[in-house]
Amino acid sequence: MGPDDNKPGDAGLFNIATDALKCGEPWGAYLEQYKIYLDHLDKLSDRRQSAHSFFFTLNTGLCAALAFLLSRDTSCEMRPLCFVIPFAGIMVCFFWYRLVKSYRQLSAGKFEVVHQMEKHLPMAPYKAEWALLGQGKDASKYRPLTHVEVWVPLCFTIMYALLLGYLLLGRQSHLY
């Protein structure tokens, strides 16, 4: 069996024949690669959190700027910003939402690779944990974070859309 004869579930993970790996006795290099991969998985989580912080801060800044513009007697030159900011906020939220979805897909792929690697280790803690949590399908056991995360940019988008509607329909005469 050669490197191209991997099992279907291994998705090209191994550069050697998988029957050369003895279950429960992984090579030192294999175990080291597993540790490095888990470290990379943790770093992905850190990058994801940084991205959320960036987008949340950007949205709160847009909201603060809009509140400032609406609470003061703004000059005629500044009034169009009351309409531009919600549009900008909606665009920012679209990109934020797409990023959350992208991280969800990337994390799912990475955990699938971890589960494949664990097939050749004496223990499979991530696979066991995922099974105990109902594989994210039973909300009473576990609701995946990305399923909750998508609501934050959606809530901001709804707020911007409502605010834009209010500005266009309700306050237009007060702005000009």
For residues 76-110, one letter each, b for 16 or more C-beta atoms within 10 angstroms of the residue's C-beta and e for the rest, the string is eeeeeebbebbebbbebbeebbebbeebbeebeee
Q: Calculate mean pLDDT across residues 71-97.
A: 86
- pTM metric for this prediction: 0.77
Q: Calculate mean pLDDT across residues 44-71.
A: 92
Is the model more confident about 173 or about 97? 97
pLDDT value, residue 53? 96
pLDDT value, residue 59? 97
> Is the pLDDT assigned to residue 21 strictly greater than 60?
no
> Is the pLDDT assigned to residue 122 strictly greater than 70?
yes
pLDDT value, residue 25? 55
> What is the amino acid identity at position 148?
V
Is the model more confident about 80 or about 130? 130
> What is the amino acid identity at position 39?
D
Rounded distance, CA 26 to CA 103, Å? 30
